[in-house]
Amino acid sequence: MASTVFNAVLSPSLPAIFQAPQLLSFDRLEPRARTATFDRSLRAEVRDALWMLTRQWQFGEFQGEDAASPVFSQVEVETTRITRYAVRAQPAVAYDPALPLEVRVEREPVLDRAPGRIDLLLRLQMGQHWLRLLRHPSFAIAGDYAPLFRAAFPVQRAPDDVPNAELASNRAAWQLNHALAGRGVDGGALYAALRGGALAEDAAADGLSVAPADRAAVALAAQAFLDHFAALFVQPDGPADDAWASEHLEYQFAVAAPTPQGRLTLTADEYAQGHLDWYSFDIDPARDLVDAPGAVIDDDVITREKLTFLPVPVRFSGMPGVRWWEFEDGRTDFGEIRPDKTDIAKLLLAEFGLIYGNDWSVIPYVVPVGSLCTVRGLAVTDTFGERTLIRPAGRGPEQDWHNFRMFTLSTRGDPSQADTRLFLPPSIGKELEGPPIEQATFLRDEMANMVWAVESILPNDRLGGMNGYEAALALADYLSRRLPAPPQPPLLPNDALIRYLVGTVVPENWIPFIPVHVGGSNRAIQLQRARMVTALLDHPRGEVLRPGAPGSPYFIHEEEVPRAGAIVTRAFQRVRHVDGRTHLWLARRKRAGRGEGSSGLKFDQIEPLAPED
């Protein structure tokens, strides 16, 4: 609708020609809806059907080879699960699915070691727990045996002498030891005694004057004590159950699963990052795990089933609309992907999302955890009634040229060999990791032409870690005040203003590794742990650098310490498994270092002296 406005203009300041009244008009358009709905305008109707067919021909929509859609599918799946577990070259034992695979591989002793190697704070906590059990009403122990066990398993006061320099230089642990010496029970010594059979009901209390009427109750309390700490920490079954390969700074283990073609062995020889997945394993056709004596393993775990499904189209964020006037999800904008010509992964993703996203369908199948799954075949029926048999991609020697494959296991000896099985390892999703209680940094020192292992973090005897360099300074200060100064040769009077220095001194937490020949080879080199002449201790203070028996040599393969170095840490891990149970264990992690370092070690140096010196 249009409206007109009249206005007369009379202004004395204008020229005479403009003094006459003028007529000005303005038109305003106001829309008026003829209907209350807009359904027809949103239909995008096309009156000319021939024009639409022509446009379809121009866009190549008539060139499709098959316009059918899948409506029915049948799949045959064969599954098996891992039944054997072996550490390095040890015999295989039955795998327990109740324990996550990472926990079983990484666990190391926390309590099953010499009492002196257990943290002081943990030993005191264990002793306090034992005293609480003696007073617990559920055991109905009549006598008061707390003084008896304090005398039998006392917290010894460490003497202030040179053999106890490691504890004496740790001020916090030293104060804790002196505060509870004679007042607490050494839970580490008590744990070792109970593991050895002490306080058994049929024993004579092992020299402890426990009343005969209370021996059975004390034996029950002892068993509860052992059960409590066995459930608190997950520990290996023995020294042979240790999967840590100290010469490689990695975990090495293998699992096996029965298949219709024979037993399949999967090895993981380079695991140290803290999470296991399918890419951590390789098929080893040359290795067959040997069962440990007395091991009972059930291999009847192979199942084959045929399933029927209705295919469901794939849906993802940002997927192009399949219908006219359908709005896409704006959370993912594939059009904003700006890959370079060499970004093959981005190009494939954009092509899939923009062009072929509507061509994929999903057929769900639940794969059991810890199993190997093989799709034997897939039959699809389309809307035309035609059935198509789809075989696994990448099968057989004729398709080994497929270099890009996902979720396929590599085969040792022939990495190009295709394997279409899907392995879902029984790993954990996410765990809680505590602060490191120990850290050893392996680095190369090109100026000194040596390899060093720096104990950056050391255990502090309070279930935590302390700075390794500060601990080395405290140790040196403690020993310098208690050891007599070495005799100095008399200086001959001369006029030389120089001083000859045989060699410099490196901190105590820098442990040298020297190159030595591998046995039976004149060219291969390995690294052996050594000791500086000026070192105050004859052994490293951490657990990473002293594996095996005390005093035994320690070798590392040279390739394990690259130019970037390597960092190995020890920390407590905690996880809640799928069955609701929690697991607490002590594990090691290895990651890349931060480059080379300099120890400042020099030999045969001439230093200038001032005249007053």
pLDDT in the model for residue 162: 82
pLDDT in the model for residue 213: 87
Work out the burial of residue 512: count CB atoms within 10 Å of its CB; fewer than 13 is exposed, 13-18 middle, 19 or more buried: buried
Q: State how far the alpha carbon of 198 is from the alpha carbons of 40, 145, 222, 223, in Å.
A: 91, 15, 9, 11
Same domain, 291 and 405: yes
Structure tokens at 72: 């029915």
Nearest to 445 by CA among 600, 233, 303, 317: 600
Structure tokens at 433: 């990791």
DSSP code of 162? G
Q: Which residue has the higher pLDDT, 478 or 336?
A: 478
pLDDT in the model for residue 324: 57
Same domain, 411 and 302: yes
Question: How confident is residue 404, by pLDDT bands cut at 50, 70 and 90?
Answer: low
Nearest to 210 by CA among 195, 199, 224, 197: 199
Task: Give tens-digit pLDDT for 214-224.
Answer: 888 998 999 99
Distance CA 236, CA 251 (A): 14
Q: Which residue has the higher pLDDT, 569 or 333?
A: 569
| Max mean pLDDT range (32-36, 253-257, 387-391, 484-488) | 253-257
Distance CA 264, CA 242 (A): 23
Distance CA 545, CA 538 (A): 12
Same domain, 193 and 266: no
pLDDT in the model for residue 317: 78
pLDDT in the model for residue 557: 94
Question: How confident is residue 101, by pLDDT bands cut at 50, 70 and 90?
Answer: very high
Domain C-terminal end among 403, 429, 455: 429
Task: Give tens-digit pLDDT for 88-97.
Answer: 889 999 998 8
What number is the average pLDDT over the span 192-203?
A: 74
Distance CA 86, CA 288 (A): 11
Secondary structure (3-state) at 255? strand
pLDDT in the model for residue 432: 93
Residue in the structure block whose two tokens are 């993703």: 349
Distance CA 19, CA 537 (A): 115
Asked if the model's pLDDT at residue 112 lies above 50, the reply is: yes
Same domain, 281 and 297: yes
β-strand partners of 525:
517
Asked if the model's pLDDT at residue 440 lies above 90, the reply is: yes
What number is the average pLDDT over the span 232-246?
A: 92
Secondary structure (3-state) at 230? helix
Same domain, 200 and 245: no
Distance CA 564, CA 551 (A): 29
Same domain, 85 and 148: no
Domain C-terminal end among 399, 429, 459: 429
Secondary structure (3-state) at 264? strand
The CA radius of gyration of the chain, in Å to the nearest whole number, is 38
pLDDT in the model for residue 66: 60
What number is the average pLDDT over the span 269-291?
A: 91
Structure tokens at 263: 């037993």
What number is the average pLDDT over the span 406-421?
A: 77
229-233, 319-323, 604-608, range with the lowest pLDDT: 319-323
Asked if the model's pLDDT at residue 403 lies above 60, the reply is: no
Q: Which helix H or strand E contains 499, and what residues bound it?
A: strand 498-503
Same domain, 458 and 423: no
Asked if the model's pLDDT at residue 85 lies above 60, the reply is: yes
Question: How confident is residue 314, by pLDDT bands cut at 50, 70 and 90?
Answer: confident
Contact (CB, 8 A) for 186 and 156: yes
Structure tokens at 180: 């509870």
* β pairing state of 282-283 and 410-411: parallel
Structure tokens at 424: 């879902």
Q: Which residue has the higher pLDDT, 584 or 360?
A: 584
Asked if the model's pLDDT at residue 564 lies above 50, the reply is: yes
Question: How confident is residue 1, by pLDDT bands cut at 50, 70 and 90?
Answer: very low
What number is the average pLDDT over the span 252-263?
A: 93
Same domain, 175 and 147: yes
pLDDT in the model for residue 533: 86
SS3 content of the chain, % helix, strand, coil (to 5): 25, 25, 55
Question: How confident is residue 8, by pLDDT bands cut at 50, 70 and 90?
Answer: very low
The neighbour count for residue 29, using CB atoms within 10 Å, is: 7
What number is the average pLDDT over the span 105-129?
A: 91
Instruction: Give the number of domains in the chain.
Output: 3
Structure tokens at 499: 């001083």
Distance CA 439, CA 457 (A): 5
Distance CA 355, CA 347 (A): 12
Domain C-terminal end among 396, 411, 429: 429
pLDDT in the model for residue 322: 66
Structural domain contains residue 139: yes
Distance CA 291, CA 155 (A): 44
Same domain, 448 and 520: yes
The model carries a pTM of 0.81
Distance CA 256, CA 92 (A): 9
Structure tokens at 547: 């594996």
Asked if the model's pLDDT at residue 104 lies above 90, the reply is: yes
* % of the chain beyond a pLDDT of 70: 89
What number is the average pLDDT over the span 337-366?
A: 83
- Euclidean distance between the first and final Cα of the chain, in Å? 109
The neighbour count for residue 436, using CB atoms within 10 Å, is: 19
Q: Which residue has the higher pLDDT, 592 or 55?
A: 592
Structural domain contains residue 268: yes
Same domain, 480 and 552: yes
DSSP code of 291? B
Question: How confident is residue 4, by pLDDT bands cut at 50, 70 and 90?
Answer: very low
Q: Which residue has the higher pLDDT, 19 or 371?
A: 371
Structural domain contains residue 550: yes
Asked if the model's pLDDT at residue 79 lies above 90, the reply is: yes
Structure tokens at 588: 């090691």
Structural domain contains residue 7: no
Task: Give tens-digit pLDDT for 10-68.
Answer: 445 545 544 555 555 667 777 777 777 777 777 767 778 888 788 778 777 777 666 67
194-208, 276-290, 476-490, 594-608, range with the lowest pLDDT: 194-208
Q: State how far the alpha carbon of 604 is from the alpha carbons of 316, 504, 505, in Å.
A: 69, 9, 13
Asked if the model's pLDDT at residue 521 lies above 70, the reply is: yes
Structural domain contains residue 1: no
Same domain, 381 and 455: no
Structural domain contains residue 353: no
Structure tokens at 290: 């040997």
Distance CA 89, CA 87 (A): 6
Same domain, 282 and 297: yes
Structural domain contains residue 84: yes
Contact (CB, 8 A) for 371 and 424: yes
Structural domain contains residue 98: yes
Contacts of 410 (CB under 8 A, 6+ apart): 282, 283, 419
Q: Can you say whether the dihedral through the CA atoms of 257, 259, 261, 266 is positive or negative?
A: negative
β-strand partners of 218:
none
Asked if the model's pLDDT at residue 592 lies above 70, the reply is: yes
Residue in the structure block whose two tokens are 């004859």: 538
Mean pLDDT for the chain overall: 85
pLDDT in the model for residue 358: 76
Residue ranges making up the domain that contains 599: 432-608
Task: Give tens-digit pLDDT for 485-514.
Answer: 778 777 778 888 888 888 888 999 999 999
